[in-house]
Amino acid sequence: MASEKQQKAIDLSHHLSDLSRARLVSPLKGLAKYMGNPNLIALAGGMPHPSYFPFADISASALVPDSFSLESTPRESTLSWVWKLFGAGPKEKTTTITVPKFPTHADDINLAVALQYGTAQGIVQLQKFLKEFVAKVYQPAYADFATLVQTGNTDGWSRTVQTLCNPGEIFLTEEWTYPSALYSSLPYNIKPVAVAMDSEGMRADALRKVLSEWDEEARGAKRPHVMYTVPVGQNPSGATMGASRKKAIYDLCVEYDVIIVEDDPYYFLQQGQYKARSERSVETIKHDGDIFLHNLAPSYLKFDYQGRVIRLDTFSKYVAPGSRLGWFTCSPLLAERLERQGETTTQAPSGLSQFEKSLITKLLTTWKYDGYVRWLHGLAIEYKTRRDYFIDCLADEFHLAKSATLEQGLWKGCEVFEGSLKPKNSMIMYEKTAVKTKMFSFVPPTSGMFIWMKIHFENYPSFKAGDEATLEMQLWEKLAEAGVLVAPGWYFSAYVGEAPDAGEGHFRISFSNAEFTTMKKAVTIFGDVLRDFFKE
Ligand SMILES: Cc1ncc(COP(=O)(O)O)c(C=O)c1O
DSSP 43: -
Cα gap 149→128, rounded to integer Å: 11
pLDDT at 428 over 60: no
Predicted confidence at residue 492, as pLDDT, reads: 92
Mutate to test the pocket of ligand 1, among 228, 230, 261, 263 (most ligand atoms within 8 A of CB): 263
pLDDT, position 72: 77
Banded model confidence at residue 65, pLDDT cuts 50, 70, 90: very high
- Asked if the model's pLDDT at residue 51 lies above 60, the reply is yes
Exposed, middle or buried: residue 269 (CB in 10 Å: 0-12, 13-18, 19+)? buried
Whole-angstrom distance, CA of residue 216 vs CA of residue 475: 40
Q: Is the CB of 328 under 6 A from ligand 1?
A: no
Centre of ligand 1 to C-alpha 428, Å, is 45
Which pLDDT score is estimated for 474? Answer: 95
Cα 179 to middle of ligand 1, angstroms: 10
Residue 198 has pLDDT above 80, yes or no: yes
* Of 151, 154, 232, best ligand 1 pocket probe by most atoms within 8 Å of the beta carbon: 154
pLDDT digits (tens, 9 = 90+) for 468-492: 889 999 999 999 999 999 999 999 9
The predicted pLDDT at position 92 comes to 83
Nearest to 89 by CA among 535, 536, 515, 485: 515
What pLDDT is recorded for position 82?
A: 55
Most confident of 118-122, 239-243, 361-365: 239-243
- In percent, how much of the chain has pLDDT > 70? 88
**Separation of alpha carbons 395 and 76, rounded Å:** 20
CATH topology of domain 13-35+45-106+126-271+300-368: Aspartate Aminotransferase; domain 2 (3.40.640)
pLDDT confidence bin for 221, thresholds 50/70/90:
very high
The answer to whether the CB of 178 is under 6 A from ligand 1 is yes
157, 316, 325: which to mutate for ligand 1, most atoms within 8 A of CB? 316
Q: Is the CB of 235 under 6 A from ligand 1?
A: yes
pLDDT at 435: 52
| First-to-last C-alpha distance (Å) of the chain | 59
Average pLDDT rounded to a whole number, residues 236-259: 97
| DSSP-derived secondary structure for 463-482 | --TT-HHHHHHHHHHHHHHH
Give the mean model confidence (pLDDT) for residues 120-125: 79
Contact criterion met (CB below 8 Å) for 277 and 235: no
Mean per-residue pLDDT, 206-229: 97
Alpha carbons 216 and 511: distance in angstroms, whole number: 42
pLDDT of residue 536: 63
The residue-averaged pLDDT of 39-45 equals 78
Give the Å distance between the CA of 427 and the centre of ligand 1. Answer: 44
Question: 415 near 468, Cβ under 8 Å?
Answer: no
Residue 80 has pLDDT above 80, yes or no: no
* CA 239 – CA 235 distance, rounded (Å): 8
| Residues of each domain in the chain carrying CATH 3.90.1150 | 384-534
- Our answer on whether the CB atom of 154 is closer than 6 Å to any ligand 1 atom is yes
Rounded to the nearest angstrom, the gap between the alpha carbon of residue 393 and the centroid of all alpha carbons in its chain is 25
Q: Is the pLDDT of residue 255 over 80?
A: yes
259 with 306: CB under 8 angstroms?
no
User: Three-state SS across 351-416?
Assistant: CCHHHHHHHHHHHHHHHHHHHHHHHHHHHHHHHHHHHHHHHHHHHHHEEEEEEECCCCHHHCCCEE
Return the number of other C-beta atoms located less than 10 Å from residue 92's C-beta.
Answer: 12
Under the banding of pLDDT at 50, 70 and 90, the label for residue 413 is confident
* pLDDT exceeds 60 at position 308: yes
> Which one of 42-56, 301-315, 328-342, 400-414 scores highest in mean pLDDT?
301-315
- Residues with Cβ < 8 Å from 34, sequence gap 6 or more? 40, 42
Find the mean pLDDT for residues 414-441.
Answer: 72
Q: What is the pLDDT of residue 90?
A: 64
The residue whose CA is least distant from atom 10 of ligand 1 is 152
Task: Name the residue of 312, 314, 511 whose CB sits within 8 Å of the most ligand 1 atoms, as the mutation to test its pocket.
Answer: 314
Average pLDDT over residues 22-39: 72
Highest mean pLDDT among 79-93, 293-307, 480-494: 293-307
Is the beta carbon of 230 within 6 A of some atom in ligand 1?
yes
Model confidence at 376, pLDDT cuts 50, 70, 90, reads very high
CATH tag, 384-534: 3.90.1150
| Average pLDDT along the chain | 88
Residue ranges, comma separated, of all CATH 3.40.640.10 domains in the chain are 13-35+45-106+126-271+300-368
pLDDT of residue 351: 38
Q: In whole angstroms, how far apart are CA 416 and each of 174, 245, 444, 507?
A: 21, 22, 8, 16
Characterize the bridge pairing of strands 197-198 and 191-195: unpaired
pLDDT at 420: 92
265 lines ligand 1 (CB under 6 A): yes
- pLDDT tens digit sequence for 319-348: 988 888 899 999 999 999 999 888 776 665
Report d(CA 412, CA 421) in Å as an integer.
25
Beta strand ranges found along 137-233 (DSSP E)? 146-150, 170-174, 191-195, 197-198, 201-202, 226-229
pLDDT > 60? residue 296: yes
Cα 265 to middle of ligand 1, angstroms: 6
Q: How many residues does the chain have?
A: 536
Is residue 352 very low, low, confident or very high in pLDDT (cuts 50, 70, 90)?
Answer: very low
Q: Whose CA is nearest to atom 12 of ligand 1?
A: 265
Q: Give the pLDDT score at 147.
A: 95
Any ligand 1 atom below 6 A from CB of 353: no
Any atom of ligand 1 within 6 Å of the Cβ of 356 = no
One-letter identity of residue 510: S
pLDDT at 3: 57
- Binned at pLDDT 50, 70 and 90, residue 429 comes out as very low
CA distance 164 to 103: 40
CA 380 to each of CA 96, 142, 363, 508: distance values in angstroms, whole numbers, following the listed order: 25, 29, 19, 20
The closest alpha carbon to 355, from 53, 108, 51, 111, belongs to 111
Residue 405 has pLDDT above 70, yes or no: no
33-39: average pLDDT: 70
Whether 17 has a pLDDT exceeding 90, the answer reads yes
Cross-sheet strand order for the sheet of 170-174: 146-150, 326-330, 309-314, 259-263, 226-229, 170-174, 191-195
Better pLDDT: 78 or 480: 480
Q: What's this model's pTM, rounded to 2 decimal places?
A: 0.91
